[in-house]
Structure formats: C-alpha cells, structure tokens
Chain A
Amino acid sequence: MPETSVNPHLALLPIVLPLAAAAVGLLLLRHRPRAMALLALAAMAGGVWASWSLVSAVNAEGAPVVLHVGGWRAPFGINLVADHLGAMMALMCQSVLLAGVLYARGCRDTCVRFPVFYPLLLTLAAGLTGAMLTGDLFNFFVFAELVVISGTVLTACSDHRGGVEAAYKYFYIALVAAMALLLANGCLYAEYGTLNMADLAARIADRPDAPLAGVALGLLLVSLGIKCAAVPFHFWQPDFHTTSPTAVSAMLSSVVVKLGVYGLIRVSMLLFPHADSVSPLLVGAGVAGVAVGGLGAVGTHDLKRMLAYSTLAQIGFMLVAVGWKSGPAIAAALVFAINHALVKAAMLMLAGAVASRAPVKSASFEVVAGVGRALPGAGVLFLLGGMALAGLPPMNGFVSKLGVFRAGVDQAAWLALGALAVGSLCTFVYVARSFQRVWWESPEAAVHAKPYGDSLAAPLLLITASLALGVAPQPLLSFASDTAAWLADPAVYIDASLKGTP
C-alpha cells in the first residue's frame, strides 16, 4: 500500500477547528453574537474543506489517512483513522453542521443569541466528527460524551417549553448508553489488553471466543442502538428531536443519530465481522424501526415530531441494510445515510421556518395548517425533500431506496423487503398529508402568518445537494461501493492503523 502523501494532521482539522472556535468564541465573542456566528461559520467551512480534502485524499490514495496523535504510535497512543467510511461520515457531518450554523444565523429563536449556543453547536460538530474519525474505542466513548453533553444543553436551552424535560430524559437514557459503552470498553480491555480498534479487531479475530467477547459485543450493540434510536431504544428520540431548537434538532435528527449507525457498521464490519448473531438483531431492530417510525409519523399531530418519527423509520432502513452486511447493502446504507442527513436536516429547518411564521410559535399541525401558503418557496423545497424521504426520483432518496431494495433482492430477504415496502407506503402517506396540511389547507390561515421568519438559505443548499446527488449519483455511488469493498476486508484498516508499530 502506498504511503499517503497528505499531511495526516488533516484528519485532526475537522475536530480541532470547531473545538478551537468554540473555545475562542467563548472567550472573546460572548457578547457579540453576530461575530460569534461568523466565527462558527468560518470554522465549519474550514471543517468542510478539511473533510473534503480527506475524502479526496482517501479516494486518490486508496488508503486511510492515519494520524498518531502526539506522535505516539497506536495502540499505545490514540490514532485518528480516516478511512473511506470515516472520511465520508466526517464530510457528511461537517457539511450538515455548516448548514446548521447557517440556519441558526438566520433564525429567530431566542436561544441562538445566547453566548454558549454557537460554542455548543461547534463542540457538537467536534464530538461527532471525532467519534467518526478516531481509531480508539475509549476515545470514541469520550467524543460521544461530548456529543451527548452538547446536545443535552442545547436542547435544554430551547425556546420550546418541553426542552428541559426532553433533555433530562435523553440525558438519563444517554447515561445508560455511556455506561454500556464504558463497560464494553472494560470487558474488551480486560480480554484483549488494548483499546485501539485496529489492534482489537486483530486480536478478536485471533481469539473470538474469549469469555467476555459476547458481553462486550452485546453492550456495544445496546449503547450504539441507543445512540441511533433503534427500536426499542428509541423512546428518548421523538421528544428530544421535537423540542430542541430547530437549528439543533435538524442536526440531531440528521447527523447525530448517524453516530450510532456508524458505530454499528464498525462493530459489525471491523470488530466482530464473524459474529453471526449481529445481523438478525440489526435487521429485526430495523424492521421494527420502520414500523414504529412510519406509523408514529402517520399518527402524530406535530410537523417536527412527524419528522422525528420519520427518522426512526429511516434509521430502520439503514439498520436493515447494515444487517444484511453484503457489499451492495453496506454501500446502500451509506448512500441512504447521506441522503437522510441532507434531507432530514432540510425538512426540519423548513418545519422550523414555517413554525417561525405561525401566529403562535409551534409546529403543531393545527397551528401551522395553511401557513405554508405564505411560503411557496419553502413548499417547493418541502415537496422535494418529501420526495427524497419517500424515495422518489430525481432526488437522491430514490437512489438510496433503490440500493437498499436491490441489496434485499440479492439477499432474497423477502420478509424484510415487505416491511420496507409497507414502510415506504407510510412515508407517502405522512409526507403527502403534512405537505397538504401546511401548504394547501386552510387558505385563511395564511393571512395570519407573520411576514418574517427563519431564513431558507440552509434548507435550499441541502435540498440542492440532495437533488444534485440524485441526478448525478455516480460519484457518490462509486465512493460508497469502494467504502463497502474496503470495509469487507478489515485487514486494510488494521494494517494502515498499526503500520510502523513494533
């Protein structure tokens, strides 16, 4: 394998830029929200650039970019490993968070004007990206905690009255996840004497039947299941994603839940590729998620909450594909993840933009019905976003759904496919109903809509991205299938990560 020619510190930039911006912003710009927003925007733009460079580097070199932090070689020090998967996920997170910061800038919530808002959004970005790039399981835990604490506080300071309660419940359940993850770390360290993921993978492959391996795997699945709101670990999600400030809920429901999906891919492809007991669990949880999320979205009475439920269903699609484990399935899950990240963030922002123009600030259908008539542009975006969620061309959602279905047909997994098809039907129902309620119904309501509200720039960017990736999907598809091919061979990750270690 050729030595990568890029400076491996590139892998650190998407983490450190937002973190440093958060610290500096907290120090110097606490009372200058506009300057703080600009700083955040600049940091995220830098992060996007860095992660884009990572993706191109990984793509060009065909090898992971590995940074041994502080110069201490893995497994003794911590290393960051930007392989295909990590780099792709980092780029996804950074791009969506850039849009999130952009949305927050043009948003009329009270809470975005507090000095800690942008710093917390930035630490959220740092934690998320760090967790997806780190090559060390304990470091993953620490980054995940950064995500949890940032998300909790951001939700607690929401304008929504339910924010505190939702944050409290989420925090408790996240503690269960943290405990499970920590205990899994403990078990693995006790059995294998290392926490570096590459090293662990190699050692687990040597000795897969160690007494605590099963417990560790189970605990990892539980904790990652909580992180991605897999049914039945999802209870915190609808409240949490509904009550947090729009700019934040758009991040939570799009990229933050992907942390769990990412982790599950790592666990099933790198750490425990031979454990047959994982696949049925993932497929089962995915199908349950499709059912619970789809029906929940049909049954709920709030636009934001509907989108939160819809995330459960979409995560279900991804889990099913991850559970199938074949190359096309993993590639489809990744494309699906990216589509969902872009679209769900955009749709929540649109819901927020509509709610911000409603007479009472709320996303309840009773309040927002007809308000969309004052916002035809948002209607077009919402319709396109809805098409993407429902998997209709020309959006990227079609490409993702097609990929998942194809993988399913290859596996002859008819039962799961049937569930996914019914789930798709639910998607049509709730997307069309919500669109009609907000943009078509109650023509008189439009009269009462406020003339000003949250800016639509960020959702416009995100929807455009999804459209572009739907019309010209080939670059994404080929990168995703490369990713799946690399993931299928853990040795690539292990060798790159431990290269040069005595």
Chain B
Amino acid sequence: MQNVSLVSSLLFCVIGAAWAGLYAWGPVRRFASVQAWGWTLAVWSACAAGVLAYLGWGPAGLMQGDGSVLRASWPWAPGLGMAFTIHLDGLSLLMGLLVTGIGALVFGYAGHYMAGKDGAWRFMLYLALFQVSMLGLVLAGDLLMLFVFWELTTVTSYLLIAYDTRDAAARRGAFKAMVVTAGGGVALLLGFIVLSTIAGSSDLATVLGAGDAVRGHGLYGAALALVAVGAFTKSAQVPFYSWLPDGMTAPTPASAYLHSATMVKAGVYLLARLNPAMGSTEPWFYLLTGVGMATMLLGAVIGLRATDLKALLAASTISQLGVFTMLAGQDTPGAYKALAVGLLAHGLYKSALFMVAGIVDHETGTRDLRRLGGLARAMPSTLAVGTVAGLSMAGLPPLFGYLAKDALIASTTHPSLPTPVAWVLAAAVVVSGACIAAQAGILVWDTFIARPRGPAPHGHDPSWGMLLGPGIPAVLSVAVAVLALPAASQFASAAASAAYGAPVGVSLTFWKGLDVNKALGLLAMIAGLGVFVGRRVVSRVIPSGPEVLLPGVLGAMDGAARRMVRVQSGFLHTYLVVILLSGAAVVAWQGLPSPPALASLRWDEPWPALRISGCVLAAAAALAMVFMKKDIHAILALGATGLGVSLLFLVQPAPDVALVMIVADVLTIVILILALQRIPAVCRREADRLDYVESRSAYRRDGMIAVAAGLLFGLVALVVLAGRPRESVTAEWFARYAKVGAGATDVVGAILIDFRALDTLIEIAVFALAGVGVYTLMRYASPAAGDADTPSPGEATADLLHTELVRLLAKGILPLSITVAATHVIYGHAQPGDGFTAGVILTLAVAFRHVALGYERSRRSKAWMRPMPLVAIGLSLAIGSAAASYIRTGSFFGHVNYGDLIGLPLPMDAALSSSFIFELSIALAVLGGGTLVIDTLSRPRDSIAAEGRPTTWNS
C-alpha cells in the first residue's frame, strides 16, 4: 500500500501530462478555455502535492518518525543495475512539494497567461511533461533513474525556452541551455557511473551509506569533479551560468517554474543529496564554497545593471543558487539548516516575483524597467503581492526570507570554519545581501512606484485567477513565518537532516537577542539601502557578466569542424592513397612473415619450360600494361597477363581454373574495349594528362605504392610456397566424396555445384547484378548526370569487320556456341568446364554478333534473347531447384537425381539431376548478366537518342 502511495504522486503528474496532451485535440479545445484547462491541470498537480503532504504529515508519515526514509522499488533494467526506486525523505519531500505545489499554481497562472496565444496546448503539455521529469528527479532513489529524469528536464526545458520558435533569441537561448546542461549531463553520467562503481550499486541508499568508501577511494577526485560539473551546469554556477539569463526567452510561467523554483535547484538538490556520500572533505568544501561564492557575488552584482524585469530576477536567482551551492559545501549543521530554509523561502518568493513580472508584462506589454513605473494606482493588488514577495527577497522580517537570510549569515560565522575563510564568507554574504536587497527594491519601486521616465505604461490588475498564482506563495511567505513556525522548523529540520546525513535541529525564531549575525544582517540591509539609492550610478559602473566559456568551446569546435570537412576533398586518388598506406600500416602492425629461404622452395616441378614462359608472359605483359601509351594496347597487355596466368594454372594441372580464367579474361578484354569505345578520345587524353603528365610526383608515388603492394603479395606467395606440401583438411575429403555424394567425377565441379553451392548461387547473383549495374549506369544514371553523347562503337569497326566471311561466322557462331555451352552444362560434373564457362562462351558469341552484324540487326534477329528475364530465370531456377531438393531430401541444395527417380534413361552419361539444373541456371544467369553488359555497351548512340531516357526498364 505504501508502495502505491509513494508512486502515486508521480502517477498524478503523469496523468496530468496525459490530460495536457488531450488538449491538443480540437474538440476538447473548443469545449474548454485555456484558463479552465490550466486549473484542471492544477488540480492534478495539487493531488500530487496532497499525496506528498500525506506522506509527510499523515499517520505513517515522515514527520511522525525520526526523519526516516520511505522507499519503494521496482526492477527496471537490472542489466544496467538500474531500478525504479522512489526515495522519499525530508529533502525530497521539500523539493517534491515545491515541484507539485508551485506547479499547481503555475498551471493555473499559465492558463491565464497563455490564453489566446497560438498553440497554448503545446506549452501546457511541455510544462506538464517537465513536471513529471522534475518530480521524478527529486523522488528518484537510484542514481541512474535520477539521471534519466535529469536529462528529461533538460529536454523539456529546451522545448519550453524555445516555445516561441519564431523568435531567434528564443532559439539561441534554448540551444545554449541545451548544450550547456546536456554537456554537463555527460559529465554527470560519468560521475554517477564512477560513484556507483565505487559504492557497488547505483541505489541511493547504498551510495549514501558508502560515504567512507567513496571519500577514501582513488577516484574520489574524478567523481567529485564530474558530479560537480553536472550540478554546476544545471544550477547555473560560474562559469556556466549564462544559459539562465538567455533562457529568459521562455514564457514567464515557465521561467517562474523552471528557472526559479525547480529545475535550476536540481543541481543544488543533487549536491545536498550526495553530501552524506561525497561531502565533508576539503576538495568538496573548497570547490563548492568557492564556486558558490563566486556565483553568489556575480549574480548579485550583474542584477544591478539589468533593465529587464526577468533579467533582474534571473540574476538574483543565480546569486541565490550560488548561496545554496556555497552552503552545500560546508560541513556544519547550520549550513544545511540555512540551505533547507533557503530552498523553501526562495521557492516561495521567487516564483511569486516571476509571476508578478509576468502579470506586468502581460498587462502593460513591457518588462523594461526604463519604461515601467507608476503602476501602483492601476495595479494595487499586484503591487501588494509584489511588495510582500520583494520584502521576503530582501530578507526583512516578518517574512520567511528573513529567516533564510538570518540562517545564512549564521552559517558563515560558525566557529568550525577556518578564520580567513569565515571572514571572506561573511563579507561576501553581506555584499551580496546588500545587492539582493537593492535588487528587490529596484524591482518593486521602479515598476510600481517610481515615476516613469517616458510615457506612463497602461495597465490594470489581472483577473483574480491570474493573481492567485503569485498571491498564494506571497501569502505563504508571511503566513508560514507568522503562524506556523514550529511546523516549518520541523519540515526544514527533516530536509536538513536528510541532506546533512545527521540530525539537524531547527528552531526558527525571529528574535533571540542581538548578536554578530543580527548586526551583519543589519549592515547588509543598510548597505542595500545605499546601493538602492545610488542604483543609477551603480548600474553604470558594473560590467556585464563575462561570457567566454560557451562561445570559446563552440568556436573551437566549429573551427575544427571546418578543417575536418575540408579533409573530405573528393579526390578518389587521395582517398585511395590514404587507405592503402593506412592499410599497409595495419598489416605491418600485425606482423609480416620473414621471407623463406630459397632453398626451401621446390624447383623440380614438371614442365619447367611452360612454367617459365607463363611467368615471363604474365610479368612482361603486366609491365607493358603500365608503360603502354595507348589504352587499347594496355588492355591487350592485360589480357596477355591473364593468359600467362592461365598457362600456369594449366600446367599445375588445374584445367577447370585455367578454363574459367581464359574465358573470363577474354570477356574482360571485350568489355573493356567496348567500354573504351564509348569514352570520347578527348576525355581519355584529358584524363591521361591530368593523372600522369601534370603530376609526375603522383605517378612516382603511385608506382611506389604499387611496388610495395606487389612485394607484399609476393612475400605472401613465397611463404605459401615454402610451406608446401602441406596436408589439407578438405582436399582429401572432397576427392573421396565427389563421386559418392554428388555423383561427380570432376572434383572442382562437385565443389562448385554441391559442396559450396551457396557460394556459387551468390556469385552468380553478384555477376548478374553487375550486369544490371552496368545497364543502370549507362542507360539511366549516365544520361541523368548529363554525360555527353558518345561515339557509336559500330562506326569505328565497321570497315574492318563487315566482310562476308565475318558475317557468315557471326551467323554461325550462336548455334556453335550453344552446342559447346550445352556440353559444359551437361558434363560440368564429369569434366573441366561448367555453367559459368558456358554462360561466358554464349556471351562472347553475342558480343561477336553485335560487333559483326551491328547492334540493331543482331538484336532483331535474336529477339527472344532478352537479358533481364535470363537473369531472373537463372536465379529463380537455381533457388527453385534448391528448394525442390529440400522437399525431396530435407536439405536445401541437397543432391537429387531426378532422372533415376523417374527412371528416365539418358544417353551418354548425362544425368537429369539437381546438379544439372543448377549448372543450367548458372549458365542462364551468367549469360543474362554478360549480355546486359554487352548490349548496353554496344548499343549505338542513335538508339539511345531514339528511345530517350528510359523511365521503366524494358529489355
């Protein structure tokens, strides 16, 4: 039951958010006004506050016991050690009540404020989502869960700040707030991880109980720095503070809520929360006190030159956040007492003042202090509310703010502080107290009472509903201080004890007799009066807050980014050089083998003469390819290299490989020459000039890279050769099972068609898709990219080839090659040659016909030969046959002899088996892919022009 009640405050907020989302729906919007909707949202929020109050003061509540903790936990992501844990103690109760209580008022107020504005529902939704995140943050009993909600507040506040996206300043402010707080979030996450690693768990109770282990750990400094950066960014501490003034572009209800009462306090809350685990060390004390004091003074001073109501409030908020940070750093009960009282006091008066500023802005249309003034008569109720809140801010009795200030001063004069530090602190507190008092004076006086410098602004009191927002906290500032001091003391004591880690007694009173603290407070007040009187002079001598950090970081990032983008030069050549060199470095790093002794190589292989000629042919042709001036010669030399290598394969003996190598080599040459024909000579010369004539050094560099690559390959080859003969795992097995398992006498055939059929299937798909790719590039992409018309290949070779003999050959070549191909397909399992060879041979025949007969005529006379369907049929047949094998044998690509199955006698050792079907489909797919290339490349310009750019493909 307690579990349910613990989570139900959060649930009420979630329901509120859903309720807010409902208002996005048009019919709901027509049914209810924004004001009404705002107050309904306030009810949800008040329910959440009610639950918290019940948990605090109810029968089994926190205040009944000795400041214990109420906890409930559910597993969330145990894989990350993350649980959904609610942890309610005095501190989270204080924050939770601020979040839900002030939230309720802000919702009601926001309805009035946003009425009539575009997309008010969006604002309410963001606000409600923010409330969920913020309440989750303060109730979280697990560091990682706390972080989740922490980041959610960042995102929702980002959206709230830039609510008016048309305003460039709002966009800038939102960006800044996002980058600063989310950047701090990264540090915080790391800090939490370190902390939970040290403590052994991210559970808050465990972490808080592991204080000694944390403080004594070697990583304590790192954890402290990381957590502090996170907290400082969120709580707008020096040097990260500037996002808060810039974030004032948010609509005022959001500022009142996020930027004074709740979110900016998250950092302080976190520091106070973790004090039992991380506090009470010198680094903690000096870091927090130093940064907090600097922030306190900075905020107090820059607020004096503000001319915008909200800017002034933002500055005083920064100052107050500095105070809290400073207090969190001190290891005395008094400091934590002051912190707890201060959080409550500030939450009440600052939200009221923000809402008052919003009312002034809403009613008069300006928040500029130079234009405001004299509104006392027109807006008496607003003046009353503003005055009460302002006096509380100034720290005058009998307001709650006085108690906070009193406790603050008392903490600085605590005897446990080292003397010089105590003096510095006391002086700083007095100075900032004076400035804050003066700010409060400026705020109320210059808005309502002083005579306006220009034309008097028009305005009147808002509706009572809108006034309720600031009115209630202002009244509470008085009421609590006057009527409920014991209850407030107990409340603050619970919060302070939770943060301090030990019981902190709090008994708030206005007068215990004159002492040094009262004197200092009086001094601050008098000084504040002086500053207020001389405010015009003061504002002129005060510099604006320094703004270095974020512009510096972003500037450095942008500069580096510009350089980084320039590295991406677009030159493939450069890319390849970098990639090859880095690749060589990686390979070398992994270790090159040492070259073997030449004696370990075998020199007594058969047919030495053939081997040597093969080598010489390949090497000489490769060299020639590099040095040949004309492209066509280089291509022919490339072909010769291939033939030389095929010769080596042949004598190995590896006739299957040699055969494939030869046909593939010839096909390559044919394709290259056809492709070359399509590139205008001008372009070829230009490319040559740019690549090699203009840049001799690049030529040499590339040469060196090529030689290095060659040496690497050579080294590997030598090592392989030196290790021979080596027992092979697979070779023997293949030889044994080729006939038995796959019915093949040719081992290579069995490997390709049976043992490694999957390889072959994918390879033919790659081959066929390469054809599809060439087709795409030439027929579609190239015209789209605006390539110039290219010469027709038919024209260049017309004289040479159009003799009767050649035509006769061309006509006869197809039947002849079909016969050869059929043999390959049928006997692929029994002898060298296979479906691939068959497909390439057919492709070559087609190429010959195209060149000899001309593209149009060749295509016309063999209209049935359409490459795209051939590709598709080949692939479908291969997969279909494999699937059929699965049905028959329970194994995809299993071997089935359908001929034997149906008792079909076939002559001459042919077999109607799955292997045969696969060979056939390979041949078809390869023929299709190859023909796609040949067709595309030999298609004359005219037919491209005639057909135009294809919109659908039709082969």
In the complex, residue of chain A having the shortest beta-carbon distance to the beta carbon of B879: A20
A387–B154 Cα gap in the complex (Å)? 11
CB neighbours of B894 from chain A (8 A): 70-71
Complex partner residue of B713 from A142, A183, A297, CB under 8 angstroms? A183
With both chains docked as a complex, state the minimum distance between the C-beta of A424 and any C-beta of chain B, in angstroms.
5
A22–B734 Cα gap in the complex (Å)? 32
- B164-202 vs A, CB cutoff 8 Å, 1 = contact: the mask equals 011000010011001100110111011001100100000
CB neighbours of B723 from chain A (8 A): 190-191, 211
With both chains docked as a complex, state the minimum distance between the C-beta of A421 and any C-beta of chain B, in angstroms.
5
Beta-carbon contact of A115 and B953 below 8 Å: yes
Beta-carbon contact of A477 and B872 below 8 Å: no
Complex partner residue of B891 from A70, A398, A432, CB under 8 angstroms? A70
Kindly state whether residue A69 has any CB partner on chain B within 8 Å.
Answer: yes
Kindly state whether residue A448 has any CB partner on chain B within 8 Å.
Answer: no
In the complex, residue of chain B having the shortest beta-carbon distance to the beta carbon of A77: B755
With both chains docked as a complex, state the minimum distance between the C-beta of A61 and any C-beta of chain B, in angstroms.
20
A183–B587 Cα gap in the complex (Å)? 12
A414–B733 Cα gap in the complex (Å)? 52
- B131-169 vs A, CB cutoff 8 Å, 1 = contact: the mask equals 000000000000010011001101100100010011000
Beta-carbon contact of A443 and B166 below 8 Å: yes
With both chains docked as a complex, state the minimum distance between the C-beta of A363 and any C-beta of chain B, in angstroms.
16
With both chains docked as a complex, state the minimum distance between the C-beta of B126 and any C-beta of chain A, in angstroms.
12
Beta-carbon contact of A146 and B568 below 8 Å: no
In the complex, residue of chain A having the shortest beta-carbon distance to the beta carbon of B591: A214
With both chains docked as a complex, state the minimum distance between the C-beta of B160 and any C-beta of chain A, in angstroms.
14
Complex partner residue of B872 from A24, A183, A402, A410, CB under 8 angstroms? A24
Beta-carbon contact of A417 and B190 below 8 Å: yes
Beta-carbon contact of B565 and A300 below 8 Å: yes
Beta-carbon contact of B155 and A235 below 8 Å: no
Beta-carbon contact of B568 and A394 below 8 Å: no
Complex partner residue of B769 from A123, A143, A295, A481, CB under 8 angstroms? A123
A113–B952 Cα gap in the complex (Å)? 7
- B747-763 vs A, CB cutoff 8 Å, 1 = contact: the mask equals 00000001111110111
Beta-carbon contact of B78 and A474 below 8 Å: yes
Beta-carbon contact of A153 and B773 below 8 Å: yes
In the complex, residue of chain A having the shortest beta-carbon distance to the beta carbon of B158: A432
A401–B193 Cα gap in the complex (Å)? 12
Complex partner residue of A402 from B189, B222, B777, CB under 8 angstroms? B189
Kindly state whether residue A348 has any CB partner on chain B within 8 Å.
Answer: no
Kindly state whether residue A26 has any CB partner on chain B within 8 Å.
Answer: yes
Number of interface residues of B (CB under 8 A): 124
Kindly state whether residue A459 has any CB partner on chain B within 8 Å.
Answer: no
Kindly state whether residue A478 has any CB partner on chain B within 8 Å.
Answer: yes
Kindly state whether residue B720 has any CB partner on chain A within 8 Å.
Answer: yes
CB neighbours of A169 from chain B (8 A): 572, 575
A60–B409 Cα gap in the complex (Å)? 65
Beta-carbon contact of A398 and B755 below 8 Å: no
With both chains docked as a complex, state the minimum distance between the C-beta of B913 and any C-beta of chain A, in angstroms.
13
- Knowing A164-B777, A432-B175, say if A226 contacts B579 (CB, 8 Å): yes
Beta-carbon contact of A428 and B781 below 8 Å: no
- Knowing A163-B781, A296-B565, A474-B78, say if A143 contacts B193 (CB, 8 Å): no
Complex partner residue of A78 from B79, B758, B784, B889, CB under 8 angstroms? B758
Beta-carbon contact of B77 and A143 below 8 Å: no
With both chains docked as a complex, state the minimum distance between the C-beta of A28 and any C-beta of chain B, in angstroms.
8
Kindly state whether residue B726 has any CB partner on chain A within 8 Å.
Answer: yes
CB neighbours of B765 from chain A (8 A): 19, 123, 126, 146
In the complex, residue of chain B having the shortest beta-carbon distance to the beta carbon of A171: B773
Pick from B248-256, B378-386, B553-561, B842-850 the stretch touching chain A. B553-561
- Knowing A156-B781, A157-B780, A393-B148, say if A409 contacts B190 (CB, 8 Å): yes
Kindly state whether residue A125 has any CB partner on chain B within 8 Å.
Answer: no
Kindly state whether residue B588 has any CB partner on chain A within 8 Å.
Answer: yes
Beta-carbon contact of B769 and A405 below 8 Å: no
Kindly state whether residue A39 has any CB partner on chain B within 8 Å.
Answer: no
Beta-carbon contact of B953 and A429 below 8 Å: no
Complex partner residue of B729 from A26, A194, A387, A473, CB under 8 angstroms? A194
Beta-carbon contact of B578 and A235 below 8 Å: yes
- Knowing A76-B737, A190-B723, A221-B586, say if A70 contacts B781 (CB, 8 Å): no
Kindly state whether residue A450 has any CB partner on chain B within 8 Å.
Answer: no
Kindly state whether residue B552 has any CB partner on chain A within 8 Å.
Answer: no
CB neighbours of A138 from chain B (8 A): 756, 759
Beta-carbon contact of B557 and A298 below 8 Å: yes
- Knowing A193-B726, A429-B179, say if A77 contacts B756 (CB, 8 Å): yes
Q: Which of A65-97 contact B (CB under 8 A)?
A: 67, 69-72, 75-78
In the complex, residue of chain B having the shortest beta-carbon distance to the beta carbon of A203: B729
Chain B interface secondary structure, helix, strand, loop or mixed?
A: helix
Kindly state whether residue B861 has any CB partner on chain A within 8 Å.
Answer: no
Number of interface residues of A (CB under 8 A): 131
Beta-carbon contact of A428 and B179 below 8 Å: yes
Beta-carbon contact of B716 and A187 below 8 Å: yes
- A412-435 vs B, CB cutoff 8 Å, 1 = contact: the mask equals 001001000100111011001100
- B861-878 vs A, CB cutoff 8 Å, 1 = contact: the mask equals 000000011011101100
CB neighbours of A222 from chain B (8 A): 582-583, 586-587
CB neighbours of A299 from chain B (8 A): 558, 560-562, 564-565
With both chains docked as a complex, state the minimum distance between the C-beta of A73 and any C-beta of chain B, in angstroms.
9
Complex partner residue of A218 from B79, B557, B590, B713, CB under 8 angstroms? B590
Beta-carbon contact of A72 and B772 below 8 Å: no
Beta-carbon contact of A27 and B872 below 8 Å: yes
Beta-carbon contact of B719 and A212 below 8 Å: yes
A152–B171 Cα gap in the complex (Å)? 40
Q: In the complex, which of the residues B79, B730, B766 has the most CB atoms of chain A within 10 Å of its own CB atom?
A: B79
- Knowing A77-B756, A194-B730, say if A211 contacts B593 (CB, 8 Å): yes
Beta-carbon contact of B189 and A173 below 8 Å: no
Kindly state whether residue B580 has any CB partner on chain A within 8 Å.
Answer: yes
A281–B591 Cα gap in the complex (Å)? 14
- Knowing A425-B179, A425-B183, say if A27 contacts B590 (CB, 8 Å): no
Kindly state whether residue B76 has any CB partner on chain A within 8 Å.
Answer: yes
A127–B769 Cα gap in the complex (Å)? 12
Complex partner residue of B178 from A191, A215, A238, A428, CB under 8 angstroms? A428
Kindly state whether residue B424 has any CB partner on chain A within 8 Å.
Answer: no
A69–B882 Cα gap in the complex (Å)? 10
- A3-36 vs B, CB cutoff 8 Å, 1 = contact: the mask equals 0000001001000100110111011001100000
Kindly state whether residue A149 has any CB partner on chain B within 8 Å.
Answer: yes
Beta-carbon contact of B741 and A235 below 8 Å: no
Kindly state whether residue A139 has any CB partner on chain B within 8 Å.
Answer: yes
- Knowing A183-B716, A428-B182, A474-B77, say if A193 contacts B572 (CB, 8 Å): no
CB neighbours of A277 from chain B (8 A): 589-591
CB neighbours of B772 from chain A (8 A): 116, 120, 153
- A356-392 vs B, CB cutoff 8 Å, 1 = contact: the mask equals 0000000000000000000000000000000100101
Beta-carbon contact of A403 and B80 below 8 Å: yes
Kindly state whether residue A352 has any CB partner on chain B within 8 Å.
Answer: no
CB neighbours of B562 from chain A (8 A): 299
Beta-carbon contact of B576 and A477 below 8 Å: no
Beta-carbon contact of A19 and B727 below 8 Å: no
Beta-carbon contact of A432 and B716 below 8 Å: no
- Knowing A153-B772, A157-B780, A299-B562, say if A164 contacts B785 (CB, 8 Å): yes
Kindly state whether residue A180 has any CB partner on chain B within 8 Å.
Answer: yes
CB neighbours of A194 from chain B (8 A): 729-730
CB neighbours of B880 from chain A (8 A): 20
With both chains docked as a complex, state the minimum distance between the C-beta of B243 and any C-beta of chain A, in angstroms.
13
Beta-carbon contact of A161 and B586 below 8 Å: no
Question: Nearest 7 pairs between A and B by C-beta?
Answer: A299-B561, A477-B79, A214-B591, A218-B587, A27-B872, A211-B593, A23-B875
Q: Please, could you name 21 A-B residue pairs with CB atoms under 8 Å apart, sorted by A?
A: A16-B883, A70-B885, A70-B891, A71-B891, A114-B780, A115-B868, A156-B773, A157-B780, A161-B786, A173-B576, A193-B726, A193-B729, A193-B731, A215-B716, A225-B586, A299-B564, A387-B155, A392-B185, A425-B179, A429-B554, A440-B162
Not counting A145-B763, A428-B182, a sample of 6 additional A-B residue pairs whose C-beta atoms are within 8 angstroms of each other reads: A16-B892, A157-B781, A164-B781, A393-B152, A399-B80, A403-B80
